Structure 1
Amino acid sequence: MDGFTSRVRTFDAFPKVDSQHTVRSQRGGFSTLMTIFVGLLIVWVEIGGFLGGYVDRQFTVDDEIKSNLFINVDMLVAMPCEFLHTNVLDLTRDRYLAGETLNFEGLNFFIPEGFKINNPNDAHDTPELDEIMRESMRAEFRIEGARINEGAPACHIFGSIPVNQVKGDFHITAKGYGYRDRAHVPVEALNFTHLIQEFSFGEFYPFINNPLDATGKTTEENLQAYKYHTKVVPTLYQRLGLIIDTNQYALTESQHVCNIKDPNKLDIPGIYFRYDFEPIKLIIIERRLPFIQFVAKLATILGGLLILAGYLYRLYDRLLGILFGKKYVEKNTERKSGGLLDNDVKESFQDI
């Protein structure tokens, strides 16, 4: 049994030193205290990280086709509601009269505080998991297809439009432009100055920020056309069993003054939202390390800390010896009694 024990000690990664072969000093005590403090700090940080988890982002192929996807709209256009025509046209040539589900409310035009007017809409950051979970309050518009006070100078358009998950566009034009209509709005009455309070895809979460939210464009041109091109990416957020299935989009925009007198060019003033769905899906999940993996990681870090602290202390001691000499290094040190030399000294004194 003793032979087996001695062989096992040969493979000891951290060989022990007998107490009589060690030297105690103020520097060594301070080094030990610092090592313990750093070790406790690492343990505290790692336990907090283990309990809080980490955010994992993955891209996967989106193999789900939703036939009941919604476009959520809440905007104000500086024209009377009775002048406006809304429509959705997608890649399948399926035309949907958005005015049947959208609500039109006549108001006076005004610009609320905090809106970004005539600024490039380049805020395309992916919302963080904490932000989504905090703002994920689902809502629905209470009314559908209502028309209120249409004769007012501006029109508040709001509601949700069911669309197919294919490439298409939702546009707002004036009556008599682009479509045959019994009414025809005079050119001098056209004004596509607009404010966008909400423009999103999927379930309606009014507190989640989107690139077009709280933005607007103003113009003095009657034949102005605004075009917003969106690339929609389905996004799934998940934390502790709570799932938020939504969509985010990147945006590019353009604007120009139309030339309606050219018969060879189909150029219609209005506000156009063109959308295309990417074939990928972003999944953002909060995960937590398995407990065994966490313990192994913590043990590895603490073991590495002890080894590093030993190397640093010996390096510091050697530098002091080079700079100030051996006597300075051995000052204020204490060696424990014991060992062969101490026993021989004691025996010699006893013989005397």
Structure 2
Amino acid sequence: MDSFATKVRTFDAFPKVDSQHSVRSQRGGFSTLMTIFAGLLIVWIEIGGFLGGYVDRQFIVDDEIRSDLSINVDMLIAMPCEFLHTNVRDLTKDRYLAGETLNFEGMNFFIPENFNVNNVNDAHDTPDLEEVMRESMRAEFRLEGARVNEGRPACHVFGSIPVNHVKGEFHITAKGVGYSDRSHVPIEALNFTHLIQEFSYGEFYPFINNPLDATGKVTEENLQAYRYHTKVVPTVYQKLGLVIDTNQYSLTESHHVYPYDQQKKPMGIPGIFFRYDFEPIKLTISEKRIPFVQFVAKLGTILGGLLILAGYLYRLYDKLLSILYGKKYVEKNTEKKTGGLLDKKDENLL
């Protein structure tokens, strides 16, 4: 039993150079310290990365069948509410009077300081996972179909519109302009200057940023038409068992001022038009962590590579010093005073 324990203590899977054949130097000690420091730094970074996980983004085919969803709207239009006509029509030729669920509140028109007005909305980024988790507070509009102070100069339009899950368009126009209506708004009274506080699809998360949020357009033309073309992508955020199923969209926009024809009638329909289409894919953004065995193997591979690299760099450094200053400079202060073969021979003689 004692012999077995002795063999185990003396067993070395990685044989080292005998101390009597090794020479210590200041350069070697400094190289060892730098290698140990780099190794500890790598271990610290890798452990932090393992504990923190990583964000995985995957596009997959959207195999979920959805029959409907909601369009969430919160905007201010520089016309009285009694002038506005809201409608939804889609690919199935289905029409829905959005005014039945939207709320119309008359008020004065104003432009907040933080709004992006009359600029192209071309900076679209997918919200980060941490940002969405912080802002994922679901809400609903408490009112539906309310109409207050409709004669005021501007109209605050807000609410959720249920629509079919097919290509369609939600538009805001003036009564009697382009559509038959009992009332008719004079051309000179048209003004489709607008500010968009919220425009999103699906469940209403008021604090998640969307491309059209806090944007607006100001015009002095009566026959101005604004068109927003959106491509909607279902997006699922997952972290620590919490799942947020929402939608994001890409945006292209155009605007046009219609001229008059020979009968002094508009050659188009002015208004604000939101066209939407749905992509057949789904984006999944989730936080994942590599398996522990894989983490250990990765860490061992990196540290092994670091040791090999340190050895090559040390030899390269010695080679450069030998070329620049000569071999004697490199070997200076590295002679071993004791422990050589001659010392052992002298000890045997004594």
State the TM-score bracket (shorter-chain normalisation): over 0.9
CA contact (8 A) 1:19 1:336 kept: no
Q: How many residues align?
A: 342
The code of the aligned residue for 2:161 comes to I
Superposed, 1:63-212 pairs within 5 Å as: 63-212=63-212
Give the CA deviation at 1:337: 4.0
Q: 1:279 is matched with which residue?
A: 280
CA contact (8 A) 1:62 1:279 kept: yes
The code of the aligned residue for 1:306 comes to L
Give the CA deviation at 1:174: 0.5
Query: Deviation per CA, 1:266-324, whole angstroms, max 9, x where unpaired?
Result: 72111000010011111111110100000000011001111111111111112222222
CA contact (8 A) 1:226 1:256 kept: yes
**Percent pairwise identity:** 80
| Equivalent position SS for 2:348 | helix
Q: Which runs of 5+ in 1 are unaligned?
A: none
Query: Deviation per CA, 1:72-119, whole angstroms, max 9, x where unpaired?
Result: 000000110001010000111111110011000000011111111110
Q: Distance in 2 between matches of 1:87 and 1:262?
A: 29
Q: Distance in 2 between matches of 1:221 and 1:327?
A: 88
Give the CA deviation at 1:345: 3.0
Give the CA deviation at 1:336: 7.4
Indicate the larger mover: 34-43 or 237-246. 237-246
The code of the aligned residue for 1:318 comes to K
CA contact (8 A) 2:258 2:266 kept: no
Q: Does 1:38 align with 2:7?
A: no
| Equivalent position SS for 2:132 | helix
Indicate the larger mover: 74-83 or 177-186. 177-186
The code of the aligned residue for 1:117 comes to V
Give the CA deviation at 1:173: 0.6
| Equivalent position SS for 1:203 | coil
Q: 2:4 is matched with which residue?
A: none
CA contact (8 A) 1:173 1:271 kept: yes
Query: Deviation per CA, 1:150-192, whole angstroms, max 9, x where unpaired?
Result: 1101000000111111100000010012222110111111111
Over the residues paired in the alignment, what is the CA RMSD in angstroms? 2.2
Cα distance, 1:44–1:242 mapped onto 2, change above 3 Å: same
The code of the aligned residue for 2:88 comes to V
Query: Deviation per CA, 1:234-268, whole angstroms, max 9, x where unpaired?
Result: 11111111111111111111111124647999721
Q: Does 1:327 align with 2:328?
A: yes
TM-score by length of 1: 0.92
Q: Which runs of 5+ in 2 are unaligned?
A: 1-6
Q: Distance in 1 between matches of 2:251 and 2:197?
A: 16
Give the CA deviation at 1:45: 0.2
Give the CA deviation at 1:214: 0.7
Q: 1:53 is matched with which residue?
A: 53
Q: Distance in 1 between matches of 2:326 and 2:345?
A: 30
Q: 1:307 is matched with which residue?
A: 308
Q: Distance in 1 between matches of 2:162 and 2:123?
A: 26
| Equivalent position SS for 1:24 | coil
CA contact (8 A) 2:108 2:154 kept: yes
Q: Distance in 2 between matches of 1:306 and 1:335?
A: 25
The code of the aligned residue for 1:341 comes to L
Q: Distance in 2 between matches of 1:273 and 1:139?
A: 22
Q: Distance in 1 between matches of 2:82 and 2:311?
A: 82
Indicate the larger mover: 330-339 or 93-102. 330-339
Q: Distance in 1 between matches of 2:43 and 2:85?
A: 64
| Equivalent position SS for 1:63 | coil
| Equivalent position SS for 1:44 | helix
CA contact (8 A) 1:23 1:336 kept: no
Q: 2:3 is matched with which residue?
A: none
The code of the aligned residue for 1:325 comes to G
Indicate the larger mover: 131-140 or 325-334. 325-334
The code of the aligned residue for 1:245 comes to D
Q: 2:348 is matched with which residue?
A: 347
| Equivalent position SS for 1:333 | coil
